[in-house]
Amino acid sequence: MGEGAFIGCESLKSIVIPDGVLSIEKDAFRDCNFPNDFKQKLISRFGDKIFG
């Protein structure tokens, strides 16, 4: 998932990370209104501050 992919998406209530996603870049979910607890599957790289 690219940097800032869902920045400010206040309508997001939860996320499901599909199996093919290997990295989540910086600020991907910044300013979203959902809990930042999700199940890490095979994600090998997380960018800085993915939740803001």
Residuewise pLDDT in 10s, the chain (52 residues) = 888 888 998 888 777 777 787 888 888 888 887 666 665 555 666 677 766 6
Q: How many folded domains does the chain comprise?
A: 1
**Torsion angle of C-alpha atoms 6, 11, 16, 19, degrees rounded to 10:** -30
24 close to 3: Cβ distance less than 8 angstroms = no
What's the count of helices (H) and strands (E) in the chain, helices before strands?
0, 2
> Residue 46 is part of which domain span?
1-52
Buried b (16+ CB within 10 A) or exposed e, 7-22: eeeeeeeebeeeeeee
